[in-house]
Structure 1
């Protein structure tokens, strides 16, 4: 056996693929990666599994023009395999028909999702370029991960929604200067496996460890103890889910009444503190937001809240807020309030202290403030101005023409007739999958590019098989990662799979704009062009090798990004007149006149406590007394490689594990390893029970990403055999400001599964039928 070793770059790190005669043998960690992700080696299992889409396939009912009812509905119907030529004809003709009869805005190309690493073969970049050149399309805005944050932060601190990442302390600065870190939502290391766009080496674990060795103390405010690594020795404050804002308000009130707050910074560098203070003291509504009030809501002791307020103001402190806390009812509030709390505490704009968001949610966050320019597939301006907030896709399909609020504007939901999706999985990201299923039956046509028969592929009309990241040439550059990593094709595409670019080139040829789409370059010429574009842009600052040398060596180092980074809190503290923030006032907006002018009843002009629709103090808790946390999985990226070896090994009797406190399990007769039914009025799923006091009583944790496996697809409320929590979550926006998802505001109950266990069919292909 003559083995060949080749570079592989993924969202979860860089690896070495071992290939023999074109066959993928194994994937090994890179020797220089101090904390390699186990997801990588598990990719081998999925490369040629039974779920691979090997040929273009068309839903039989759609091909024959049959109505979407009963056995011919999306998700239940058989598929017919067709030739590539036939598939390209079907899709190009349908695009042409929909555009001519209903207009360009009737084509939806949001296609939200992470896709795969690579600067050229980025699925959404290819799709958006193709659709824009063809006349335009309705797009989506914001992300499922951070929609509330993305909308509210520009009002509060100004700048691009993601600019905060270069304005908060990096881990090395925290280790050198900070004394106390209070992490709302925790710092789960499992999330730092990933980096959008690729990753050369994982650094977050060692950087966190360096902070602890330097004497930094950590406080984990979360319903889950393991949201911080054991080596941090973090103080755990179990908090009732969705009450982080109330906890922060109680801390802020304690600072205020004791005179511990940073009056100088609040006066010079912020606006609206007096109005907010009137809310804290109860002058506005008659309710004092003191430690006793917060303790009743959050479950954190009054004395603990008081002591935390003292420590935050007496030490160099850093308020961290994780993305999970804003995926909830009124999710804008904990983000906004965390900035206000940091401004009050006295460390804002001081080295290693102040405020930051999303630490450990990606390896890049807190590792480096940015990275230099790297070439990518060039975007084309979209001629269609219409867009929808990303989490409002089901609303749009169900209620076209309805007008909704969004960030001070009024949006009319368009009528979508054709959905084109690639590089994402809406049947993973979206809430209330039974509602999404009803909505998904409405458009005329759904076209999907997929490598595997996941749920989205099974609910499509036309499925075009695509090559995986192992089956195409590219190079990777992750967010804030100072490396370029070569991605040579490891193996030939499975079956008749083609790259997204190959498919769009064929479609563009049929539609008359191939040369505009390809710019007369082959795929490898594009990869070389983007690398050389990067090299030319960076010039002498990088001294990057030429492309051939880079391709042979597999990695090239980029220079560190030194800024300037507009909106610095340190510069603001030094001189707010000379270094104003890009907000209307030039300062931190504790009270936002702009948001206040919107007149929303669910998002005021300053951060405040809004009671969630579903939480443990709600009346609904009498029927469903457990709060479900559907956090990110440790065994895959979202739903990517749920069929990989690492994810499969984490299952319990083939189901996704659900963690439950032993006291809650005992009262329900649940034992460790038992298959249980998690349910509420929206749906139910089977999962494998893990008993652990890492989750507080009254809380259960079921990660997202298990491929949805309904017993009777299309039947509302049908049981999911595999453990997808989004059969339980509510499709309800955070507020009228962001219209973001509120996945973490959900109540459930759990009981032992009664009766025979249904087989898990999540990874089985659909029925393939001969043409009629």
Structure 2
């Protein structure tokens, strides 16, 4: 990979570093230096397939989108806390740090004393920083627990909201399933056929929380293919599996994978190809499910002809695939993307049932590799020593929400909802405190989210750039970028632990989250409790000691912190590739049962059935989605993850902006769909439905199924007229189009992967992109508020 350089867009230039200093990101380890007015980055020398997202750093470091000083929204300054529809449309007033923190400290005290800690929502999302200490989620939650007495939290993730609730009912521990199960080494050596529902896209597996020293997925699939392993790729998008896999592409209608898997099982059963001994010994509920598959309970056999009409895959293709699976070391993979849709629990559950019917669960390179390829640390071995980890303290507030229900909570305080068999109540939130993450990227129906953010008294955001979330805040506190601070980088599923040296001085007046929270904690009388009297360097040494001590106890090299800090990284030991819980269960089902109610794989769950949720019955079921193509919205939109950035991070970086077309995100559609609408490659198109509309560039390709259009997430929300109820996003954020509803009453997961739209060529005057421009900053009143 070539090195990337960019000149700063600010007068605050970093110091010169003649040596490349080690650093890391969620996209991979790298090193960087600032020399002769340019930032240079280069990937880790041992990485066989480095991720080019690191190329976003040079252009982003001193970009105009960076936030240079504390800002407070004018309306909040003039009228004080309270609901305000001007959020996202208002001017900002710059303040000194002391003035801003004095105001915020007083507001935190007011909210805590008048409404209680349970009126604060501690928003964050785990992708904020790869560092073990400067992890914004850990910092904000530690601050709220110690200085505020707790907060309302969110649980689960946008990526796996449905599966992380379902899996404990049917297979046991979720982390065991995804992190200690089938590895890439096993696939390269043992798998004979891999069926990937939703694919295993390298753009996803190139990213992991914490760090990655070696991107191995492409190489593992290439070795498996060379050995004779057959890959079958079931997806509407050909690019969801790399060319190195040599896969057969089965182009299916999005959201129909459950029906296809049911038909595969029907073929296995009707032809006597299922593993009855495995089902009898290791599962419960097969007989109930079998009656459903055969049509004895509802009069509809789930055969290949039935599934063909739903999935768009021919009956012959389905039966042929079922027969190929029989008698081979078969691995069934279900991607995260399938459960980010209506009834998202069903394909996850059905994938496990298909693997069980084949009798492959627990075998090396066989069975069920849920979400393999969805993220880099899935399919890898765990480290054998603990990682440096900052304690978040104890949260005494019991209330929580599923993370994808943020807008529901803010719009319906006191309202009830179902979650995992219980009826819960949304809390009355007065303050949203967000550090790390951009909900105006990853949440659905952004126009609805705008209305939700208008309901609370105060919104506080720590950010390095002017995201839409920052624009909708009352207090905007500028945070440093990872290259501007020191930390320790590492992941519990990667053996390399590295010192993260600062390469640049902080932009403008930006501060570390830790420094911001320490000063706020002082205003709330909790500085000593929050900092424990430690500087950043002292915290790093304190956190590192846990790992060093564990290495010493194993009689392995355990360098002092000073030696570690002066080096380029430390290799940690890893656990054996033993297949984890599912392998142990297969070897000894009575002695090592699964942590499910029955101790076995639950094909039928008495627990889930007892919840009596119509949208998630007691066994995998085909449930017709509410959102389906129709006359006004005939195309299915796939809003998947981008290739050139992680979610919306550093969207203004050079690698991300270089992939846009005329400044806009690029959608992909089939030639037949384009011709029918008079659209040509390179046109600007308008995607729209009842919820909103956005503009995008378009690429015409036959690597996508007819009737499907794909637009990745992550383009910063850029409304052309924010005064409108549902303004046009001119930049291409698909979440102005997606529905903000839960997967089911069981999990309430995110459904943002799929929706329906219509598309037309945009022939009007093309609005400029303003997503990266700072908002209007008013100087009036600055001296008055700075003096307070």
TM-score, length of structure 1 as denominator length: 0.97
Contact map agreement 2:120 2:433 (CA 8 A) in 1: yes
Aligned counterpart, 1:652 = 661
User: Partners in 1 of 2:226 and 2:215 — Cα distance?
Assistant: 19
User: Partners in 2 of 1:197 and 1:690 — Cα distance?
Assistant: 33
Aligned counterpart, 1:12 = 27
Q: How does 1:77-96 map onto structure 2 within 5 Å?
A: 77-96=90-109
Question: 2:617 aligned with 1:608, yes or no?
Answer: no
User: Partners in 2 of 1:39 and 1:345 — Cα distance?
Assistant: 39
Contact map agreement 2:181 2:581 (CA 8 A) in 1: no
User: Partners in 2 of 1:95 and 1:81 — Cα distance?
Assistant: 20
Aligned counterpart, 2:517 = 504
Question: 2:768 aligned with 1:749, yes or no?
Answer: no
1:575 positional shift: 2.7
Contact map agreement 2:447 2:725 (CA 8 A) in 1: yes
Aligned counterpart, 1:768 = 777
Aligned counterpart, 1:36 = 50
1:527 match: secondary structure: helix
Contact map agreement 2:180 2:381 (CA 8 A) in 1: no
Q: Which moved more, 1:355-364 or 1:119-128?
A: 355-364
Could you tell me which of 728, 736, 749 is aligned with 1:719? 728
User: Partners in 2 of 1:496 and 1:118 — Cα distance?
Assistant: 21
User: Partners in 1 of 2:492 and 2:719 — Cα distance?
Assistant: 36
- Cα pair distance change 1:505/1:708, threshold 3 Å: same
1:537 positional shift: 2.5
Cα RMSD (Å): 1.5
Offset from partner CA, 1:651-707 (integer Å, 9 cap, x none): 000000000011111111111111100111110000000011111000011000000
2:681 match: secondary structure: coil
1:307 positional shift: 1.0
User: Partners in 2 of 1:575 and 1:116 — Cα distance?
Assistant: 41
Aligned counterpart, 1:330 = 343
User: Partners in 2 of 1:744 and 1:267 — Cα distance?
Assistant: 36
User: Partners in 2 of 1:10 and 1:638 — Cα distance?
Assistant: 14
Contact map agreement 1:191 1:361 (CA 8 A) in 2: yes
Offset from partner CA, 1:53-87 (integer Å, 9 cap, x none): 000000001011169899x7001100000000011
1:564 positional shift: 7.9
Q: How does 1:678-757 map onto structure 2 within 5 Å?
A: 678-757=687-766
User: Partners in 2 of 1:465 and 1:523 — Cα distance?
Assistant: 18
Q: Which moved more, 1:312-321 or 1:533-542?
A: 533-542
User: Partners in 2 of 1:754 and 1:113 — Cα distance?
Assistant: 40
1:744 positional shift: 2.3
User: Partners in 2 of 1:343 and 1:545 — Cα distance?
Assistant: 46
1:421 match: secondary structure: strand
Aligned counterpart, 2:437 = 424
Aligned counterpart, 2:179 = 166
Contact map agreement 2:165 2:746 (CA 8 A) in 1: yes
Offset from partner CA, 1:277-332 (integer Å, 9 cap, x none): 01101111111111110111001110111111111122110000110000000000
1:594 positional shift: 0.5
Offset from partner CA, 1:543-563 (integer Å, 9 cap, x none): 232222222222110101238
Q: Which moved more, 1:131-140 or 1:361-370?
A: 361-370
Contact map agreement 1:613 1:745 (CA 8 A) in 2: no
Aligned counterpart, 1:60 = 74
User: Partners in 2 of 1:282 and 1:370 — Cα distance?
Assistant: 47
- Cα pair distance change 1:296/1:565, threshold 3 Å: closer
Could you tell me which of 635, 646, 653 is aligned with 1:626? 635
1:42 match: secondary structure: helix
Contact map agreement 1:265 1:573 (CA 8 A) in 2: no
Question: 2:424 aligned with 1:411, yes or no?
Answer: yes
Aligned counterpart, 1:362 = 375
Q: How does 1:193-592 map onto structure 2 within 5 Å?
A: 193-369=206-382, 372-541=385-554, 542-562=556-576, 567-568=581-582, 570-592=583-605
2:686 match: secondary structure: strand
Offset from partner CA, 1:430-483 (integer Å, 9 cap, x none): 000000001110000000000001111111000000011001110111241111
Could you tell me which of 139, 144, 147 is aligned with 2:158? 144
Could you tell me which of 116, 119, 127 is aligned with 2:132? 119
Contact map agreement 1:170 1:369 (CA 8 A) in 2: no
- Cα pair distance change 1:88/1:565, threshold 3 Å: farther
1:538 positional shift: 3.2
1:87 match: secondary structure: helix
User: Partners in 2 of 1:371 and 1:685 — Cα distance?
Assistant: 47
- Cα pair distance change 1:225/1:56, threshold 3 Å: same
Contact map agreement 1:342 1:355 (CA 8 A) in 2: yes
User: Partners in 1 of 2:745 and 2:197 — Cα distance?
Assistant: 24
Segments of structure 1 that go 5 or more residues without pairing to the other structure are none
Aligned counterpart, 2:680 = 671
Contact map agreement 1:635 1:650 (CA 8 A) in 2: yes
Contact map agreement 1:68 1:74 (CA 8 A) in 2: no
Contact map agreement 2:549 2:558 (CA 8 A) in 1: no
1:598 positional shift: 0.5
Contact map agreement 2:82 2:458 (CA 8 A) in 1: no
Contact map agreement 2:385 2:547 (CA 8 A) in 1: no
User: Partners in 1 of 2:542 and 2:534 — Cα distance?
Assistant: 9
Q: Which moved more, 1:59-68 or 1:607-616?
A: 59-68
1:39 match: secondary structure: helix
Contact map agreement 1:75 1:714 (CA 8 A) in 2: no
Segments of structure 2 that go 5 or more residues without pairing to the other structure are 1-15, 782-788
2:545 match: secondary structure: helix
- Cα pair distance change 1:113/1:374, threshold 3 Å: closer
Contact map agreement 2:383 2:572 (CA 8 A) in 1: no
2:759 match: secondary structure: strand
1:42 positional shift: 2.1
Contact map agreement 2:187 2:221 (CA 8 A) in 1: no
User: Partners in 2 of 1:281 and 1:147 — Cα distance?
Assistant: 30
User: Partners in 2 of 1:129 and 1:195 — Cα distance?
Assistant: 23
Aligned counterpart, 1:45 = 59
Offset from partner CA, 1:496-554 (integer Å, 9 cap, x none): 00000000000111101111111111011101111122111332434232222222222
User: Partners in 2 of 1:387 and 1:69 — Cα distance?
Assistant: 22
Q: Which moved more, 1:348-357 or 1:361-370?
A: 361-370
Aligned counterpart, 1:25 = 39
Ranges of 4+ aligned residues in structure 1 off by more than 4 Å: 66-70, 563-566
